[in-house]
Amino acid sequence: MDRTGTRNRWWLAGMAAAALIVSAPTVAEAPVAPPTGQSLAALTPTQITAALERWGMAVRLTADASGEPLLLVSNRGFGMEAAKVFFWSCRPTGCASLTLWAYFPKPAGNAMALVNHWNLRERWSRAYIDEDGDPVLEMDINAVGGIGSANLDLLLETYVRQVRRFAESLKTI
């Protein structure tokens, strides 16, 4: 190989290295999340109760058959028959995750078509028909690795709004 070929290889290698250096973010350029409140390492019934009550839901703390915390949520005009918050992997400091769960009266029409449409269009919650034929709306929240308190509030608000919308949707069939 002649000197020109070697020089071209070095030139290409240098250009590739320069492109990597220019495109790599520096510490100063790294995106910084805005302060959004406290980071939570676990979810507690007290936190969830306070947030749901801010959105107009009445909540009562009890325990499930295995002794894990369980929140019973009253209807209060949200259109559901019943709602519960199930907590998972609990320790004295709180729980790793939870499931928001609500079931609704059986509509006169085809709920399966509505459920399928809901799951196709909605991002945060999932709907299904339970073994009794009742429409159900669920959403999971995971705190493993931490969750911002503002994010938790936003997820709970999202669920409350989706419960209302799902109930209204069921009235149309």
Domains (range + CATH), the chain:
39-171 (3.30.1460.70)
Q: Which pLDDT value is given to residue 76?
A: 73
- Please provide the size of the chain in residues: 173
Between β-strands 69-73 and 82-91, what pairing exists: parallel, antiparallel or unpaired? Answer: antiparallel
Tokens of 113: 């078509």
Query: What distance in Å separates the CA atoms of residue 94 and residue 152, rounded to the nearest whole number?
Result: 14
Q: Which pLDDT value is given to residue 77?
A: 78
Residue type, 19: A
How far is Cα of residue 64 from the mean position of the Cα atoms in its chain?
22
Helix axes 149-171, 45-54, angle to 10 degrees: 50
pTM of the model: 0.76
- Residue range 6-18, pLDDT digits in tens: 445 544 444 444 3
